[in-house]
Chain A
Amino acid sequence: MPNFWSTNLPKLGQMTAAVAIFFAVLGAIFFIAGRANGKMQKPIAVVVLLGPAVLLLLFGLVGPTIRTVVLSFKDAYGHKFIGFSNYKWLFTDPDMRKVLLNTVLWLVFTPFVTTALGLLLALLLDRMKRESIPKSLLFMPMAISFVVGSAVWKFVYAYANPGDPQIGLLSTIVRHLGFTPSNWILTQPLNTFLLMVIFVWIETGFAMVILSAAIKAVPADILEASALDGATGLKLFRGITFPMVRPTFIVVLATMVATSLKLFDIVRTATGGNFGTSVLANEMFSEVFNYFNQGRGSAMAVILFLFVMPILAYNIFNLRRQRTIS
């Protein structure tokens, strides 16, 4: 393996050097800036402490976002303005309409299914004695990347031609139930929902853990009081538990909406956007990196942004309210 180490040791060296330089530079700046006194002390502290982050955000997020909005009105190479042509294409092209429809399907189904399933599991777990093992198992996919998740589920959906042995779990179950398995990944529109299952599989644990904490935070006395009043089961849930957990439920739901909207990993890995499964985030990537059309790609990014705008507004509204309360 001499060849392996001669190419890969330098990479590790590069990493170590980068981290060392990073800390050395920070240390030196802290040392010099720390010697300032008097009136300059505070402004210097603000610039040194906040400056790097603000600069990176300006160059990494704020500036590019504005630039993307501008690019969305330009041609493929960003040379000349072409008005709303990119947007017009986006909303009229039949292929793009399918992409938009899929994006809306993802937006409607995955967040609700994930959050509702997370809530149901959290409620059920609340009644259990040894909850840590099933909780860990349900939460585990959270550590797995969407790419690996897609590989895992592609194997579940594996299909073999009639006559060959079916090795996929889904095909086998379907066959044992007496039906004929089909080539799942190619079957529209079922395949889009099969891809959503991967998202639900990975994110339900996240929803469950957060909602579980919110349920545990419901004061026991309130529950006891209404239980003494004769409220049980579903009534208790509708009357007490859910109203108290609702803010958390909405936060989780909003997070899921934002995540599912931005997500392109699953579609990219499982189908490459083929067979009628593409979504906006995936199409945007293809437009930029495969067709080299920055204008159209940027227009798609702007549409993604418009989709998350309400969540953004809601979050800021919430944060302001929290701040005025505390």
Chain B
Amino acid sequence: MSVLTSKQKAPRLADHNAGRKLFGGRIATIIVWTVAALWTIPTLGIFTTSFREKSDIVSTGWWNVFFHPHLTLTNYHAVFFGDSGSGLTNGILPYFINSIVITIPGVIFPIVLATMAAYCLAWVKFRGSDFMFFGIFALQIVPIQLSLVPLLNLFTRGMHIGTIQVLPKFGIAGKFAGIWLPHTMFALPLAIYLLHNFISALPRELMEAATVDGASHFTVFRRIVLPLSIPAIASFAIFQFLWVWNDLLVALSFSGGTESIDPLNAKLANLVGAWGAHWEYLTAGAFITMIVPLIVFFALQRYFVRGLLAGSVK
């Protein structure tokens, strides 16, 4: 039986490939590999330069490293621990720590709140839940720039109607909480939408069975929805991790530009200007900034792609 099916399938597959023959197979391969190489060369340039002596960097192109390998860790040492020329008195490590401190809650908070909201919108039907879902969906596309100024004013001055103070200033401006909060707010629309897609597709019988057994919505959420949503949560977590780690706008607007809370990416943006042609620092700094997201990306690429597809292709 199995032999038969595989025999039936064989010509079908061949035809299927023939049908897809848009360009010659070999030419396609050559073009793709050429573009892939083109896409990789700039990163390779940064990577190799970060291991070269300053005098070598300014006298010859980085590709010469393959003919005259002469490598050093001086640049990394200078950037990591700081030296007089780099202008980083305590090195880049404090910013690295800041990035971690900003990113982890910046991923956890929105995901937990979004999962709760997505479950509620999908399974606890109430009047206006559809309207609310559409509203949240619409917010996805609103540029963050639109809320920047008022939100900043809210954090630093509180909220006033006329002269009456309605909300106090939270005292979180320039603190980590003042960055976690905007990241959480801005991530919610997309997170709720993606998780809603997933959670609303969970089997109805499962939910009903639990409700018949007398479980409250909270029990259903914790015991059934949360464990089953792990794949969707993981996909979004990777997405949000990259987003927060690589963010510049929120960091520049809500951190004070100080060593105590500035993340790596914002500091690097600042250093690109300050360092100018100090490629020895710049390349090492750039590589330190991208290494964590690259590891996350390559380790979890499959989940990341799955999450992207869930969001874009319906």
Enumerate chain A interface residues (CB-CB to B < 8 A): 3-4, 7-8, 11-12, 14-15, 18-19, 22-23, 26, 30, 33-34, 36-37, 41-43, 45-46, 48-50, 52-54, 56-57, 59-65, 67-68, 71, 78, 121, 123-128, 131, 133-134, 136-148, 150-156, 158, 165-169, 172, 201, 204-206, 209-210, 213-214, 217, 220, 223-224, 226-228, 232-234, 236-237, 241, 248, 251-252, 255, 258, 261-262, 264-265, 268-270, 272, 281, 284-285, 288-289, 294, 297-298, 300-302, 304-305, 308, 311-312, 315-316, 319-320, 322
Which of B40-48, B69-77, B229-237 forms contacts with chain A? B40-48
Any A CB within 8 A of the CB of B10: no
Question: How distant is the Cα of A165 from the Cα of B45 in the complex, in angstroms?
Answer: 16
Any A CB within 8 A of the CB of B182: yes
With a cutoff of 8 Å between Cβ atoms, the chain B residues found around residue A11 in the complex are 97-98, 101, 176, 260
Whether A15 contacts B151 in the complex (CB less than 8 A), given A56-B188, A121-B32, A140-B40, comes out as: no
Shortest Cβ distance from B56 into A: residue: A167
Selected from B105, B132, B149, B265, the residue in CB contact (under 8 A) with A297 is B149
Question: How distant is the Cα of A78 from the Cα of B157 in the complex, in angstroms?
Answer: 13
CB pair B112 A213 closer than 8 Å: no
Q: Can you pick out 11 interface pairs between chain A and chain B where the beta carbons lie within 8 Å of each other? A: A22-B108, A22-B109, A49-B120, A68-B146, A134-B36, A140-B39, A143-B297, A143-B298, A147-B265, A269-B269, A301-B148
With a cutoff of 8 Å between Cβ atoms, the chain B residues found around residue A65 in the complex are 142, 146-147
Nearest 8 CB-CB pairings of A with B: A60-B185, A145-B246, A64-B147, A143-B297, A223-B19, A227-B19, A64-B150, A53-B117
With a cutoff of 8 Å between Cβ atoms, the chain A residues found around residue B265 in the complex are 145, 147-148
Question: How distant is the Cα of A168 from the Cα of B189 in the complex, in angstroms?
Answer: 42
With a cutoff of 8 Å between Cβ atoms, the chain B residues found around residue A30 in the complex are 218, 222
Whether A220 contacts B16 in the complex (CB less than 8 A), given A15-B105, A59-B185, A144-B293, comes out as: yes
Whether A146 contacts B248 in the complex (CB less than 8 A), given A14-B101, A57-B189, A60-B147, comes out as: yes
With a cutoff of 8 Å between Cβ atoms, the chain B residues found around residue A251 in the complex are 312-313
CB pair B42 A156 closer than 8 Å: yes
Enumerate chain B interface residues (CB-CB to A < 8 A): 12, 15-23, 25, 28-29, 31-33, 35-37, 39-43, 45-46, 49, 57-62, 90, 93-94, 97-98, 100-101, 104-105, 108-109, 112-114, 116-117, 119-121, 124, 126, 132, 134, 136-151, 153-154, 176-177, 180-182, 184-186, 188-189, 192, 216-219, 221-222, 242, 245-249, 252-253, 260, 265-266, 268-269, 272-273, 277, 279, 282-283, 285-286, 289-290, 293-294, 296-298, 301, 305, 308-309, 312-314
CB pair A152 B45 closer than 8 Å: yes
Question: How distant is the Cα of A168 from the Cα of B49 in the complex, in angstroms?
Answer: 11
Whether A18 contacts B177 in the complex (CB less than 8 A), given A64-B147, A150-B272, comes out as: yes
Selected from B57, B134, B146, the residue in CB contact (under 8 A) with A316 is B134
CB pair B61 A223 closer than 8 Å: no
Whether A148 contacts B289 in the complex (CB less than 8 A), given A56-B188, A155-B282, comes out as: yes
Question: How distant is the Cα of A30 from the Cα of B116 in the complex, in angstroms?
Answer: 11
CB pair A319 B272 closer than 8 Å: no
